[in-house]
Amino acid sequence: MDVILTGEYSYLMRALIDKHNKEGDHVFVISGSHYERDKFPKVYEQYDFAYDSTSMRQIVESINPDVVIFSGAFDTSFNWNLQQAEAVRYNTGLVNIMVALSSLSKKARIIYLSNQEIFMKSFEGDIKETDEPIPQGYKSMAISQGELTVMNYVTSMDMDVRVLRLGNLYGMPYNHIDLEPLIGRMTREGLEQGVITANPNHSFAMLHVSDAVDYIYQIATAEQPKEHLYNLSSCEEITEKDLADNIANGLGKNVRVDDKGVGSPYRGVFSNERFASEFRGKVFHHVPDEVPKIASLLKRNPGKYFFDGEEVASFAQRFKTKFGVILKAVLPFIENMIFFIPFFMINNRAVGSEFFGKLDVYLLYVLFFAIVYGQQQATFSALLATAGYLFRQNYTKSGLDIMLDYNTYVWIAQLFILGLVVGHMKDRLKVVQDENKDQIEYLNSQVSDITDINAVNVQMKSILEQQVINQNDSFGKVYSITSSLDQYAPEDVLFYAAEVLSQLVRSEDVAIYTVANRSYARLFAATSKKARMLGNSIEYPKMTDMYDEITKDRVYINRNMDNDYPLMADAITQDDEMQLILMVWGIPWDRMNLGQANMLRIAGYLIQNSVLRANRYMDALENTRYEGETDVLAVDAFTALVRAFTSAEQRDLTECCILKVESKGKGDEDAMAAAVGKTLRNSDYLGRLSDGGLYTLLSNTSDENAEYVINRIKGEGYRATIVKDLAL
């Protein structure tokens, strides 16, 4: 499965990446950043593009994902200190991604993550999916608007969209941005003041990130969830006081909790009823267990988690920064004034000269700055030139004469007109050049983006080709292994099925149980001592976690590594009745994923075909297998069965014990067979061998355990002895 995750690296992203990697999925990340980031660990490919990038369509088309998880309310690439600007960027990016996904030929499942911030008032009961959001502030409004945006694509574009509201998410933070606000505030108070203030009138339910990821994955992989909106919550209501007590436990004995029951009561608990009725909603992480660990981590690394990344600059640093800005702004004017001095001197020397008297030096000066710097500096140079001209005229004329001389105004007018016109042309030329430069940079970035995407596609193509070439679990290989069962006798099929299953799932610890009734299953074959750890008989309905999964026709995966359960299990059914239970141990954690589950399911189906063929063959020979109307197997049938069990015992696939039954005196053979048959289990067999004697085959029974059966037969008035090394 190909999965797209959006957002910067955080504890939620890390948990999602780990989860999908364990399930064998290919994880792609769109970071939402304009700049190249360090590659996230365990990611198949990472795209450092802004969400509103014009390349988004090419990105999603190249990935062609099965699932897209938009981290939404938990996306740390948004800086909500600037809420108004980020709200615009948030919704713009979301719309751009949805538009890009709507162009895909394959319908991807889109999951949008929301949170409790969209409900800003108290609720007496649990908050249900039908309750209307009450956002306050730009962030909560943006998150709520995001829900409506993605839901609109369900009706308008027939897209597979699911909105998940996560109630008060918490977990081990990756950095200070990840830190849950209430936990962060209380921990900081405890560390700095030794006192944590908490309001016992405020109550809520917190959801651990590991449980949240498990819930998200169930919805992501479900064939067709019933609803488009789910609340995800632990439903374990706590107060601020309870949370503060747990934080104090993690910080140490020197921290106390101070009750501040001020203000109106507040209650905000999501109802998990809709999700739990459809999926597995078990909570594995609880606040009293997890929050002290988080507080202890923050206590050990306060600088990492209580540092906002912005140091307060000193006065000297701030002065230096501001002075640099001012200097950069006034430098062209200073440069203009410095250049004015030599032009002023040249003009004074040129006046009265026979050769240079008619040369207008100031006009050249203004023209030079208009051409080089543009309209602003042309205006300033014209003002300086006017001042210099008037100053020189004062040498020979009075101020009144200068003001009454129309030549002065004509000269000033031509100076400003020429400077402004040339300066304007310079500015316009610069604007055109900048626009062309921006266009070239944009096109170059597009070419670069396309090159990067193509490089990723080539890399993916190469990797997938190698996977196909080196595939250990190809359909051809699976079929060739399972079809080998067809060459064995019907009595041998189940024993060899255990070996075949062991080979397919690449585990040395495999067991096959036959279902005796609706309560018990008997061990038929096992490939190792570890595979026999549950015993010869199990009451499988009491193995609740496994039973719930296999009765729903799903492969059970022991994600909690419970020692009382196999790591994986699957059931084989016939006519809606459970016939066999396949159990597997000894699988590495990285292979306990969806791919391995599919392999177990496929192997089970193929083994089932061989078993059903063997059963049909046995049923067809029913009349020839037994003696008359009795349960005693005829010589040929019983000999083949004994040979199959003893051969399997030699391969360490099962245990068996053969008893020879004799009467103390001469009596009715049919009566003896009927009496002995009452002492046997459903998984044991009664039959005759070539010497005409009556024998019993006890499956999965050692010589020591056979003593119990011998005593029961003795109670019926007959003698039974263990037989070894039969000549068949």
Domain ranges for the chain:
2-176+206-235+267-283, 315-441, 475-620, 623-723
The identity of residue 478, as a single letter, is V
Q: Does the pLDDT value for residue 215 go beyond 90?
A: yes
d(C-alpha 103, C-alpha 542), whole Å: 49
d(C-alpha 559, C-alpha 590), whole Å: 11
User: Which residues, at least 6 apart from 344, have a Cβ–Cβ distance to it below 8 Å?
Assistant: 388
Long-range Cβ pairs for the range 711-715 (8 Å, 24+): 712/679, 713/659, 713/661, 713/676, 713/679, 715/679
The identity of residue 57, as a single letter, is R
d(C-alpha 360, C-alpha 538), whole Å: 111
Highest mean pLDDT among 27-36, 171-180, 203-212, 616-625: 203-212
Query: What does the CA dihedral 39, 41, 42, 48 come to, rounded to 10 degrees?
Result: -20
> 299 falls in which pLDDT band (50, 70, 90)?
confident
Element (DSSP H or E) covering residue 239:
strand 237-239
CA dist list (Å): 127 to 283, 583, 676: 19, 41, 65
Residue 497: CB atoms within 10 A of its CB come to 29
Q: What are phi and psi of 378, to 5 degrees?
A: -65, -40
Average pLDDT score over the chain: 81
Span 623-723 CATH architecture: 2-Layer Sandwich (3.30)
Homologous superfamily of domain range 2-176+206-235+267-283: NAD(P)-binding Rossmann-like Domain (3.40.50.720)
d(C-alpha 3, C-alpha 234), whole Å: 26
> 146 falls in which pLDDT band (50, 70, 90)?
very high
Highest mean pLDDT among 231-235, 263-267, 455-459: 231-235
d(C-alpha 723, C-alpha 296), whole Å: 66
Q: Does the pLDDT value for residue 313 go beyond 50?
A: no
As a whole-number percent, the residues of the chain with pLDDT over 90 amount to 12
Alpha-helical segments (H) within 158-286? 181-193, 209-221, 240-251, 273-278
- Chain segment 355-372, per-residue pLDDT in tens: 665 677 888 888 888 888
How big is the chain by its Cα radius of gyration, in Å? 42
Q: Residue 166 CA to chain centroid, in angstroms?
A: 14
Q: Is the pTM of this model over 0.85?
A: no
CB 187 within 8 A of CB 244: no
Domain 475-620 in CATH 3.30.450.40: yes
d(C-alpha 129, C-alpha 520), whole Å: 41
- The predicted pLDDT at position 137 comes to 86
490-497 average pLDDT score: 68
d(C-alpha 146, C-alpha 87), whole Å: 10
Q: Does the pLDDT value for residue 229 go beyond 90?
A: yes
